A = this chain, B = another copy of it.
Amino acid sequence: MDIPTKMKGLALLEDGYANAPATQELTDLAPYVELRELDVPQPGPGLALIKVARAAVNPSDIAFIKGVYGQARVKDQAAGFEGTGTVVAGDTPLVGQRVSFFAAGSGSWAEYCLAPIPMLIPLRPDLRDEDAAGLIVNPLSAMAMFDIVRDDGADSFVVTAASSQLGKFLIGLGKDHGIGALAVIRRAAPAATLQELGAADVLVTEGDGLSDRISALFEAHSPRILLDAVGDQISADLFFAMPEKARWISYGRLAPTPPTLTQLPQFIFKQKRIEGFWLASWLRETAPEKIGAVVGEVQARFAEGTWHTDITASVPLDNALTELPAAYSQKDSKVLLEP
């Protein structure tokens, strides 16, 4: 295969971490990345070079380019954590294969990127590129967090930002395993869709009498796990309205204003807990066979149509700075980048 020496990519403008907190909202890409001609990266030991077909744009990517993700930025490197494409170089029998990948060293928002060979996922031919581009971050997070729900023996669980792609995956998992997802959304528009996907109940936080509506919902379902991508005062209020032994599992922060712990004694007398979920930690701490099994199940779910990635737009790299923020801000479906 003919590999050029130069490529287009969205390069990071800053090193390391930001000094101030920031959310995962995106109004403008220009402060963080720049479309540039970059050297095509060379795969060192354990790495493969991938010709990117589609790259995902996840909330974690936005946190990363802003410098508020759990991993330091490297200036002038291409951004982008995951995608799908073809292996074109590296010490692996997968050269020539179509894979999903998690980038390392040089990101997926470019024509070529690097990815660790052990984490390459060879794809079933019946898997759409739209699903393959985001096969790791959201699907594996959904599977891993749903395991927390199952291990807790819960009958129901709460999902905030429930109309996100990850939220919809969780609702589907709940439906399939008979554990009711209580879908929390800000505005009523996606409510019917979420109910069709199998949500046990939908709570719209906009509007009057929220606190009474929360009480009534939790009275009916007694959920003990809150899977939360928002991190605002409503998240905290949901948590404090939950019954004994409730666990607030934070996995993202969409909200700009931090929550206040208005009912601290609940940690003591109701044995409640706040903790976090990070896919990177889960991947480090989970046995490779278990990860392999989960990846297999994820592919099967997409191929069989149990899960489906809704795509807002597939934005060409060249147009990312002008088109990506608006496309990304439509929360209910996914945006891809196309080199």
Q: Which residues in A have some Cβ–Cβ distance to B below 8 Å?
A: 21, 63, 68-70, 231, 236, 250-253, 258-278, 281
Identify the closest chain B residue to A262 (Cβ): B258
Asked if residues A265 and B281 are in contact (CB atoms below 8 Å), the reply is no
Please give 20 more A-B residue pairs, beta carbons under 8 A apart, in addition to A70-B268, A268-B277, A273-B273: A21-B262, A21-B263, A68-B265, A70-B269, A70-B270, A231-B264, A236-B261, A250-B264, A253-B265, A259-B264, A261-B261, A265-B276, A267-B274, A268-B276, A269-B276, A269-B278, A270-B276, A273-B274, A273-B275, A274-B274
Q: Inside 8 A of A250's CB, which chain B residues have their CB?
A: 264, 267-268
Which B residues lie within 8 Å of A271 (CB)? 275-276, 278, 281
* Shortest beta-carbon contacts, A-B, top 7: A70-B269, A267-B276, A268-B276, A274-B274, A250-B267, A231-B264, A273-B275
For A265, the chain B residues whose CB sits under 8 A away are: 21, 63, 68, 70, 253, 276
> CB-nearest residue of chain B relative to A232?
B264
Give every chain B residue within 8 A of A267 (Cβ-Cβ).
Answer: 250, 274-276
Q: Which residues of B contact A258 (CB under 8 A)?
A: 260-264
Q: How far is the CA of A270 from the CA of B274 in the complex (A)?
A: 13
Query: What is the bound-complex CA distance between A14 and B278, given in angstroms?
Result: 46
> What are 28 residue pairs bridging A and B, where the CB atoms are less than 8 Å apart in the complex?
A21-B263, A68-B265, A69-B269, A70-B268, A70-B269, A231-B261, A231-B264, A236-B261, A250-B264, A250-B267, A252-B268, A253-B264, A258-B263, A258-B264, A259-B260, A259-B261, A266-B276, A267-B276, A268-B277, A268-B278, A269-B276, A270-B276, A271-B275, A271-B278, A271-B281, A273-B274, A273-B275, A274-B274
Interfacial chain B residues near A68, Cβ < 8 Å: 265
Pair B272/A276 contact, Cβ less than 8 Å: yes
Could you tell me the distance in whole angstroms from the C-beta of A260 to the nearest C-beta in chain B? 5
Q: Which residues of B contact A236 (CB under 8 A)?
A: 261
Q: State the CA gap A280–B229 with chains docked (Å).
A: 33
CA of A234 to CA of B260 in the docked complex: distance in angstroms? 13
Please, which residues of chain B bring their CB within 8 A of the CB of A264?
Answer: 231, 250, 253, 258-259
Query: Using Cβ atoms and an 8 Å threshold, which residues of chain B touch A251?
Result: 268
Chain B residues with CB under 8 Å of A253's CB are: 264-265
State the CA gap A259–B273 with chains docked (Å): 15
Q: In the complex, what's the smallest C-beta–C-beta distance from A182 to chain B, in angstroms?
A: 21
User: Which residues of chain B are near A276, meaning CB under 8 Å?
Assistant: 265-273
Chain B neighbourhood of A270, CB < 8 A: 70, 276
Instruction: Return the chain B residue nearest A71 by Cβ.
Output: B269
